[in-house]
Amino acid sequence: MYENLKKKYGQNFLVDKNILLKIIHLSDLSDLSVLEIGPGNGNLTDYIILNNPRKLTLVEIDKDLVDELLIKYSKFNFIEIINSNILEIDLKETYQLVISNLPYNISSQIIVKLALLQNSPDRLILMFQKEFAQRLLDKKINSINSLIRCFYDIKLSFNVSKNCFRPVPKVDSSVLVFLKKDEKLLKDNEINDFIIFKRNLFSHKRKSLKNLLRQYNLEKDFNLNLRVENLELETLIGIFRAINS
């Protein structure tokens, strides 16, 4: 079956049962409303079902796989299966947990979408390409983790060998757990402006803040001799607010 997977969807199925169980054991799924993105052939879904979620929503872009899932899970009335691109869905329902082996080619877009949901999930258990996961975990801030950390605390659970997938991808993966902060670091009306602000700074990250922000009178409050990647996240937010106040 793996010969027919569609490269445009970045499909690699996790087949190692030990890894599937390790993912499931990262959270108590009992009585939760769960969203699984890209269930594929249902390898992980089977284990989710065994842990008794209250509701399980599956979002799968591949219609051929959806047809198989509809047959496979036809007896479970708590499962909803949606044939769509996760990036094109208006996720109005509140999910307590999102779990996924994310497609490598749209990982960053999906994690940003989930973090910015009005009713964002309490917990995310997501598998990424190892290199991208490291960007999220990096102690230094960067364009992606400086946004996500405004809403979630991120920790590495474990790494996954590429040999645990079929077909075998070119790179290893990492499973990360995201826990929603008790209080997000950005107000709702600040988010869009902050995204533009940090994107501009990180697109010129080799320049000092003094050069990038010379039109603002900030030197009495902030050390502008640093580059943006050497700031603490709270300091970056402070500079943003000083400029936009």
184-213: pLDDT as tens digits: 999 999 999 999 999 999 999 899 999 999
pTM over 0.85: yes
Where does the pLDDT of residue 12 fall: very low under 50, low under 70, confident under 90, or very high at 90 and above?
confident
* Separation between Cα atoms, residue 57 and residue 35, nearest integer Å: 5
pLDDT of residue 5: 46
**Residue 165 burial by CB count (10 A; 0-12/13-18/19+): exposed, middle or buried?**
buried
Beta strands in 96-182 (DSSP E): 97-101, 123-129, 152-160, 165-166, 173-180
Measure the CA–CA gap between 50 and 29, rounded to whole angstroms.
9
Segment 134-140 shows an average pLDDT of 97
pLDDT in tens, 78-121: 999 999 999 999 998 999 999 999 888 899 999 999 999 999 99
User: Which residues, other chains included, contact 38 with Cβ-Cβ below 8 Å and sequence gap of 6+?
Assistant: 59, 60, 61, 86, 100, 101, 102, 103
Mean pLDDT calculated for residue range 148-162: 98
What's the pLDDT band for 10 if we cut at 50, 70, 90? low
Which letter does DSSP use for residue 30 in this model? Answer: T
The answer to whether 47 and 69 have CB atoms below 8 angstroms apart is: no
The rounded distance, in Å, linking the Cα atoms of 92 and 33 is: 13
Can you read off the two tokens belonging to residue 223?
Answer: 């050390």
Report yes or no: 199 and 219 within 8 Å, Cβ to Cβ.
Answer: no
What does the pLDDT read at residue 245?
A: 81
Q: Give the model's pLDDT for residue 9.
A: 52
pLDDT score of 2:
44
Mean pLDDT of the region 64-68: 96
Distance (Å, whole) CA 103 – CA 107: 6
Residue % of the chain over a pLDDT of 90? 91
Nearest-angstrom CA–CA distance, 149 and 194: 13
Smallest CA-to-CA distance from 44 within 6, 97, 3, 7 is with 97
- pLDDT average, residue stretch 64-71: 97
Q: Closest by alpha carbon to 66, among 40, 89, 85?
A: 40
Q: Is the pLDDT of residue 145 over 60?
A: yes
